[in-house]
Amino acid sequence: MTVVENAKEACRGRGRPQVRSDEETLQLIVEAARAEFQASGYAGASMNAVAQGAGVSTKTLYRLVPTKADLFKNVVSQRCGQFLLEIDQKVVGDLDLEQALVRILIAYGRLTLEKETIGIVRLVLGECERFPELGEAFYETAIKRSGEAMTGWLAEQSRKGLLDLDDPKLASGALRGMMIMEPQRCVMLAQRDAPDAREIEQRAKFCAKLFLDGCRRRKTS
């Protein structure tokens, strides 16, 4: 092969670099932002550092995510979105009542009790007085969305006649508190490590049984 032919072959091999979609780029940005918030907190987090971590220009970063508050909201929203997918009707719809509730509680336990999420809660509690947008973003994007999803599922089971609930929203709050409050509080106070998958599953099974023993509709003779 001649020198000219070699040059032509090299050009064909290189071609144009593949261009990422905005969705793929946003995913890289969110991952970099998650690491930056964990390392530096909210006040100390740098948009420039996030851009560098994601391997994008600051122009691209600000086009996709205009503010630091939007960046934080994206981080929280992505994690909550994973939880919503895990409890979707397509996932739990074919399970019986107890199996479905255990599956939902395991997913909720993973969402709220993993080390990263507890770090985000610490960040919000520590900085939301200075940055009210933190508390608003976390409440709207995580607490409210996850609560509404579980309330909706309980309400549907009540409509089907499987549960006896006067107030599904109140029941959802009680159930979520029973599942996570004690272990989450202990981890946040550095009294124990975050629970592992086995402990979360055991707690989910216990809470599901306790809840259903009180709320399952009784058959009338």
Question: In the prediction, which pLDDT does 15 show?
Answer: 47
In this structure, what token pair is assigned to residue 196?
């592992």
- Distance of alpha carbon 221 from alpha carbon 218, whole angstroms: 10
Instruction: Compute CA distances 56 → 19, 31, 61, 67, 68, whole Å.
Output: 12, 12, 7, 16, 16
DSSP-based helix, strand, coil % in the chain, nearest 5: 75, 0, 20
Domains and CATH numbers, the chain: 19-66 (1.10.10.60), 76-215 (1.10.357.10)
pLDDT band at 197 (very low <50, low <70, confident <90, very high): very high
What pLDDT score was predicted for residue 5?
Answer: 46
List pLDDT tens digits, range 144-153: 999 999 999 9
The pLDDT value given to residue 220: 59
DSSP 162: S
pLDDT of 11 higher than 80: no
What six digits make up the tokens of 48? 């420039």
What pLDDT does 218 receive?
A: 64
- pLDDT of 95 > 80? The answer is yes
Q: What is the pTM of this model?
A: 0.82
pLDDT tens digits, 40-53: 999 999 999 999 99
163 phi and psi, to 5 degrees? -125, 150
